[in-house]
Amino acid sequence: MINYRLITTLSSELKQNHLITFPGSALLLEKPLRDNPLIAEMTAHAEQGTLADTCFGCEPFARITVVPLDAWQDSLTDSLLDALRPLLATPACNDVLLDCTRIHDTVLAKTLRFLFNQAHRLTDLGLKKSPNHITRLVQINAYCAKSESARLETLFSQQQAIANGMIAARRLADIPSEHCTPQFVVDEAQRLCANFSSLRCEVLDENAIVEQGLGLLHAVGKGSTRPPRLLAIHYDGASSGPVRSYVGKGVTFDTGGLWLKEGAGMYTMKYDMCGAANVLGLMLSIAELGLPVRVMGVLALAENAIGPDAMQPGSVARACNGMTVEINNTDAEGRLVLSDAIAWASQRHPKTRYIIDLATLTGAVVKALGYELSGLMTQDNALRCALTAAGEQSGDEVWSLPLDARLKKQTESAIADLCNTPTNNAAISASAAWLLHHFCPQNIPWAHLDVSGTALWREGGKSVASGRPIPLLMQHLLNDLNAGA
């Protein structure tokens, strides 16, 4: 874990730090930097909008990076992170000194999450040889005004907890699917939750799934030799009050079933459980902060595989709320496991304050919104507004897509109550949400987050788990609690 410390004056302890600052910063006016002609030249470059960086002639620091001032206020295009990402890929030292004196709060939150997230890299999984001695970030020193230290302490502690949850989710999602099976996710969740007395796990195995009538989850998982699981993580941070519920799609690998994906489309399908992984990370963040609230996280875990018992196009399955679904496309399995999990969550806590589900559900949402925005679909205006505001505040933004009765024909079936995909290949993301809304009672506010574009970080032609939308959901929860709800 990467630690942090807030400082209001420079000291000899900060020697050999990597100083990250902006032109005109008071830190650059301290001796001996103010008399250093190289620093003056770097400042001039940064004032012209060019990043300036050096590891030479910058004593007493090991490295100095001067980023144009506009980047410190840019919460939209992440220009500060774009500048820092390649530098932190190969750190020059273990400690960073971050100048927080003129930074926008949203930019700071995103920067802190980025820095804290340096605690996990793919090589940490031990599957690739790496140098024995590599420099890793271990300490964030944050320079701020004394008047800001109390407020920033809260921000730093929250972002550290959020990042720790993101790291747990990223690490789990990055594990190859031959190891990361439904039961492995359960085992890993139980191991991580054991660190917090406020968390407890409830597990439904394949027999309990059938006994409790979760026919949609069973249908998806029954074709695999690795049977499905439903994991509910309960957080008891308060003795009473409404429960907030989060439901995550946990398809540990998605072949498409008998509706087989092509090879290129299957390559990243170990990440089809990012929704469930992020629900686990969210629960760990909530427990780390000790929030005074009751929360339930539900992970719907299955492998969509080909086998003698695999679900077939045209088959009909019954959910735990009694509704039947015609499975006309076995590659639309995520909405099936989510539907059962949403219905189960609403039955487990009938007075739930809200249910929010998150899933890498449709490629169509990426075509609509790209990789920076998560798709938000809900019929509850208050929940839509609250999630949108939390997204803007946290920098983990959403964009609302329509969800109303005009989508009804997209889920009509001649043989069952619903079908799982529209036959006209239109409004794929919204049609999936329209199916899901049937499984949450009308008296419970519900929202669906399609994170197919945001759950992964893509760079250099490769994809890794991002940990989103944990920052969004944590900010929404914090706002909800601060509002006295």
Tokens of 221: 């998982």
Angle at 331 between CA 422 and CA 122, to 5 degrees: 130
Give, in order, the Cα–Cα distances in Å from 243 to each of 202, 292, 471: 16, 11, 20
To the nearest 10°, the Cα dihedral for 447, 452, 453, 459? 150
Residue 225: what are its φ and ψ, rounded to 5°?
Answer: -75, -10
The single residue of 244, 335, 353, 468 carrying the catalytic annotation is 335
The stretches of 314-444 forming alpha helices (DSSP H) are: 334-348, 364-369, 381-394, 428-437
The Cα–Cα gap between 126 and 122 comes to 8
Cis peptide bond prior to 60, omega within 30° of 0: yes
CB atoms within 10 A of CB 342: 30
Do 45 and 66 meet the contact criterion of CB atoms below 8 Å apart? yes
Is 408 assigned a catalytic role?
no
Do 263 and 454 meet the contact criterion of CB atoms below 8 Å apart? no
Contacts with 335 (C-beta within 8 Å, 6 or more apart), sequence order: 359, 361, 420, 432, 435, 436
Do 420 and 259 meet the contact criterion of CB atoms below 8 Å apart? no
3-state secondary structure of 118: helix
The Cα–Cα gap between 333 and 388 comes to 27
Amino acid at 447: A
Task: Give the containing element (helix H, strand E) for 140.
Answer: strand 139-143
Amino acid at 329: N
The single residue of 121, 200, 261, 348 carrying the catalytic annotation is 261
Do 387 and 472 meet the contact criterion of CB atoms below 8 Å apart? yes
Is 348 assigned a catalytic role?
no
Place of tokens 């492998």: 303
The Cα–Cα gap between 186 and 204 comes to 10
DSSP 258-284: TSPPPHHHHTTGGGGGHHHHHHHHHHH
Tokens of 396: 């983990």
Task: Tell me which residues are annotated as active site.
Answer: 261, 335
